């Protein structure tokens, strides 16, 4: 769908929405067909039946995005995501469905097939995906599309934008993001991958780790050092950014077996003498770190919104189960020891939600958002982690069973606590930049 069609569809949805009654939170959905995971203690939740649309602080366009994305997600139920997880299968059908409806370029310019909406709308999109039960498997399948190519949008040439953005937005190409390295971790400025100019090419040698979707991606946005650390005034100088083919004849890609989000792969990359055309250098040589930084606050906001969605999904399942499951002759949710942690989680998630959307509003208005974007990521990941842990515990033994899905959420919610930046580094940032305390690292 072109951006014009998406705009028309948004307008149509807006018109229809005014005629329909908004959903209420936690409304119990009665399934129309039997679940393939039958159990006498079944929780008949299909995630999207519970989307909250009543939040008074959503703008019309955010509300429209939430409703439209909710409809796409409704075609991919919990069984789909459970199977994708178990079979380690990339959710290509889901990726295609979002591409067909024009959602992959939500923040990208209309000239390249995007919709030119803001991070505030993109955050709603990824929150809704995660909240539908798709969790990180769904969100990570499209995450890179939404803001990953911001450096290309901002610093690429017209030729590069056409060549790189158009197929990504149309869903014809998938991209991954290669920054983290095994020997340097969070100390990004000391990364060791080298890119050396040789005629019309750069020759890349080095390794990357944890690169999501590298098994399925045709393209990679990769950061490598073009000027040795000893020869630059500041370590942030001398790094360059490339968007290029992930050529498997030149790059050895190996999947990392991991705890959760099995549908979306994570990988180590090893390359020695990988020839990358000079036309794939983004912006000026040696200026890559600044370009990567440009999209970082937006990425933190999106990761936060994804975590929030999982937190709400876990809370919803926990609430349903607490209302249905009877032990000692009454619903377990009648016990305050069960009810209070859930009430507490709702408050924590709502507080995180307000910070996320404050950060998004500020970002879209052009303000510096480092504090709020980092705080949002931290608060949402922690609130969602607690919600997921509580959801598992409230399900008792069934919390450990796959058919109730909360164990999947619990495994996946570890991701935003670790990546793209850890809790400790966010505290370091707030301590130094907001509180003015000495740099600790
Ligand atoms: C599922 C998953 C997907 C990912 N996808 C991608 C991707 O697509 N592309 C990509 O480039 N990367 C990706 N990453 C990598 C991720 O961004 C890194 O794992 C993350 O930045 C942490 O780096 P590290 O693992 O090297 O930890 P390290 O840097 O080794 O740190 C280990 C621990 O030490 C702590 N620590 C280190 N230094 C300090 C300090 N000075 N003060 C306090 N604490 C400190 C950290 O907070 C952390 O808890 C992914 C990671 C995961 C788990």
CATH of the domain at 141: 1.10.540.10
Bridge partners for 277 per DSSP: 201
Angle at 353 between CA 351 and CA 354, to 5 degrees: 70
Q: Is residue 393 part of a domain?
A: yes
For residues 183 and 147, state if they share a domain: no
Predicted confidence at residue 41, as pLDDT, reads 37
- Give the number of other CB atoms < 10 A from CB of residue 151: 22
Q: How far is the CA of 425 from the centre of ligand 1 (A)?
A: 9
Predicted confidence at residue 27, as pLDDT, reads 32
Residue 132 Cβ inside 6 Å of ligand 1? The answer reads no
For residues 146 and 9, state if they share a domain: yes
Residue 223 Cβ inside 6 Å of ligand 1? The answer reads no
> Which of 93, 120, 155 is the C-terminal boundary of a domain?
155
Q: Is residue 160 part of a domain?
A: no
Q: How far is the CA of 331 from the centre of ligand 1 (A)?
A: 42
Query: Residue 148 to residues 67, 137, 220, 230: CA-CA distances in angstroms?
Result: 24, 17, 10, 30
Predicted confidence at residue 54, as pLDDT, reads 59
Of 422, 437, 438, the residue with max ligand 1 atoms within 8 A of its CB, to mutate for a pocket test, comes to 422
Measuring from atom 43 of ligand 1, which residue has the nearest CA? 424
Q: How far is the CA of 1 from the centre of ligand 1 (A)?
A: 37
Q: Is residue 440 part of a domain?
A: no
Q: How far is the CA of 293 from the centre of ligand 1 (A)?
A: 16
In this structure, the dihedral spanned by the alpha carbons of residues 149, 152, 154 and 157, taken in order and rounded to 10 degrees, is -160
For residues 285 and 300, state if they share a domain: no
Q: Is residue 165 part of a domain?
A: no
* Residues of the domain holding 428: 296-434
Bridge partners for 195 per DSSP: 204
Structure tokens at 266: 């994570």
Measuring from atom 28 of ligand 1, which residue has the nearest CA? 185
Nearest atom within ligand 1 for CA of residue 441:
41
Residue 441 Cβ inside 6 Å of ligand 1? The answer reads yes
For residues 110 and 125, state if they share a domain: yes
Residue 48 Cβ inside 6 Å of ligand 1? The answer reads no
For residues 213 and 275, state if they share a domain: yes
Query: Residue 407 to residues 200, 399, 403: CA-CA distances in angstroms?
Result: 50, 6, 9
Q: What is the pLDDT of residues 412-424, one digit of tens each?
A: 999 999 999 999 9
Can you list the positions of beta strands (E) in 192-308? 194-198, 201-212, 219-225, 239-245, 251-255, 266-277, 281-282
CATH of the domain at 261: 2.40.110.10
Q: How far is the CA of 394 from the centre of ligand 1 (A)?
A: 31
Q: Is residue 47 part of a domain?
A: yes
Q: Is residue 439 part of a domain?
A: no
Q: How far is the CA of 311 from the centre of ligand 1 (A)?
A: 22
Of 185, 217, 264, the residue with max ligand 1 atoms within 8 A of its CB, to mutate for a pocket test, comes to 185
Residue 186 Cβ inside 6 Å of ligand 1? The answer reads yes
On the 0-12 / 13-18 / 19+ scale of CB atoms within 10 A, 248 is exposed
Residue environment code for 398-431, b if the CB has 16+ CB neighbours within 10 A, otherwise e = bbeeebbbbbbbbbbbbbbeebbbeeeebebbbe
Length of the chain: 441
Predicted confidence at residue 50, as pLDDT, reads 56
For residues 283 and 308, state if they share a domain: no
Residue 212 Cβ inside 6 Å of ligand 1? The answer reads yes
Structure tokens at 320: 């349903």
Please give the tally of structural domains in the chain.
3
**How far out from the chain centre does Cα 388 lie?**
17
Long-range CB pairs of 115-119 (<8 Å, 24+ gap) are 115/3, 115/6, 115/7, 116/3, 117/61, 117/65, 118/360, 118/363, 118/364, 119/147, 119/298, 119/301, 119/302, 119/360, 119/363, 119/364
For residues 242 and 302, state if they share a domain: no
Residue 232 Cβ inside 6 Å of ligand 1? The answer reads no
Identify which of 83, 86, 110, 107 has the alpha carbon closest to the alpha carbon of residue 94.
Answer: 83
Residue 420 Cβ inside 6 Å of ligand 1? The answer reads yes
**Quick check: 219 and 243 in contact, CB under 8 A?**
yes
Residue 268 Cβ inside 6 Å of ligand 1? The answer reads no
pTM summary value: 0.91
CATH of the domain at 335: 1.20.140.10
Measuring from atom 25 of ligand 1, which residue has the nearest CA? 185
For residues 210 and 279, state if they share a domain: yes
> Which of 240, 258, 291 is the C-terminal boundary of a domain?
291
For residues 102 and 198, state if they share a domain: no
For residues 300 and 407, state if they share a domain: yes
Of 180, 184, 268, 414, the residue with max ligand 1 atoms within 8 A of its CB, to mutate for a pocket test, comes to 180
d(CA 384, CA 58): 21
Residue 180 Cβ inside 6 Å of ligand 1? The answer reads yes
For residues 282 and 410, state if they share a domain: no
Measuring from atom 24 of ligand 1, which residue has the nearest CA? 185
Q: Going residue by residue through the chain, which has 441 residues, state the pLDDT in tens, using 9 for 90 and above.
A: 444 455 555 555 444 433 333 333 333 333 333 333 333 333 333 444 556 655 778 899 999 999 999 999 999 999 999 999 999 999 999 999 999 999 999 999 999 999 999 999 999 999 999 999 999 999 999 999 888 999 999 999 999 999 999 999 999 999 999 999 999 999 999 999 999 999 999 999 999 999 999 999 999 999 999 999 999 999 999 999 999 999 999 999 999 999 999 999 999 999 999 999 999 999 999 999 999 988 899 999 999 999 999 999 999 999 999 999 999 999 999 999 999 999 999 999 999 999 999 999 999 999 999 999 999 999 999 999 999 999 999 999 999 999 999 999 999 999 999 999 999 999 999 999 999 999 999
Residue 1 Cβ inside 6 Å of ligand 1? The answer reads no
> Which of 274, 291, 308 is the C-terminal boundary of a domain?
291
Q: Is residue 402 part of a domain?
A: yes
Measuring from atom 35 of ligand 1, which residue has the nearest CA? 424
Residue 25 Cβ inside 6 Å of ligand 1? The answer reads no
Q: Is residue 161 part of a domain?
A: no
Residue 136 Cβ inside 6 Å of ligand 1? The answer reads no
For residues 122 and 262, state if they share a domain: no
């Amino acid at each position: 769908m072109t951006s014009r069609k998406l705009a028309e569809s948004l307008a149509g949805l807006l018109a229809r929405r005014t005629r329909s009654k908004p959903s209420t939170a936690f409304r119990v959905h009665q399934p129309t067909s039997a679940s393939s995971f039958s159990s006498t203690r079944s929780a008949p939740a299909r995630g999207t039946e519970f989307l909250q649309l009543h939040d008074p602080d959503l703008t019309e366009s955010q509300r429209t995005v939430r409703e439209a994305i909710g409809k796409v997600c409704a075609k991919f139920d919990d069984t789909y995501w459970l199977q994708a997880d178990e079979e380690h299968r990339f959710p290509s059908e889901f990726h295609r469905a979002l591409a067909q409806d024009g959602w992959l370029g939500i923040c990208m310019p209309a000239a390249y097939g995007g919709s030119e909406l803001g991070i505030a709308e993109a955050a709603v999109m990824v929150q809704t995906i995660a909240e539908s039960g798709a969790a990180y498997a769904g969100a990570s399948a499209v995450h890179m599309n939404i803001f990953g190519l911001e450096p290309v949008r901002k610093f690429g040439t017209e030729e590069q934008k056409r060549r790189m953005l158009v197929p990504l937005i149309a869903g014809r190409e998938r991209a991954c993001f290669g920054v983290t390295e095994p020997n340097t971790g969070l100390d990004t400025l000391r990364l060791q991958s080298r890119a050396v100019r040789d005629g019309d090419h750069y020759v890349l040698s080095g390794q990357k780790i944890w690169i999501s979707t590298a098994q399925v991606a045709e393209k990679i946005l990769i950061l490598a050092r073009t000027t040795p650390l000893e020869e630059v005034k500041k370590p942030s100088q001398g790094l360059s950014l490339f968007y290029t083919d992930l050529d498997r004849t030149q790059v050895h890609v190996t999947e990392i077996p991991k705890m959760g989000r099995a549908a979306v792969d994570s990988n180590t990359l090893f390359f020695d003498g990988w020839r990358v055309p000079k036309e794939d250098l983004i912006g000026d040589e040696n200026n890559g770190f600044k370009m990567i930084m440009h999209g970082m606050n937006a990425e933190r906001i999106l990761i936060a919104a994804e975590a929030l969605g999982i937190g709400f999904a876990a809370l919803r399942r926990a609430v349903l189960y607490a209302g249905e499951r009877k032990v000692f002759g009454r619903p377990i949710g009648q016990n305050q020891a069960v009810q209070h942690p859930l009430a507490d989680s709702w408050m924590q998630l709502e507080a995180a939600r307000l910070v996320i959307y404050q950060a998004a509003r500020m970002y879209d208005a052009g303000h510096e958002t480092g504090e709020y974007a980092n705080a949002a990521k931290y608060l949402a990941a922690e609130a969602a982690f607690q919600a997921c842990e509580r959801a598992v515990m409230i399900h008792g033994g069934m919390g450990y069973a796959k058919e109730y899905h909360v164990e999947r959420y619990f495994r996946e919610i570890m991701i935003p606590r670790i990546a793209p930046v850890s809790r400790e580094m966010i505290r370091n940032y707030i301590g130094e930049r907001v509180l003015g305390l000495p740099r600790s690292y």
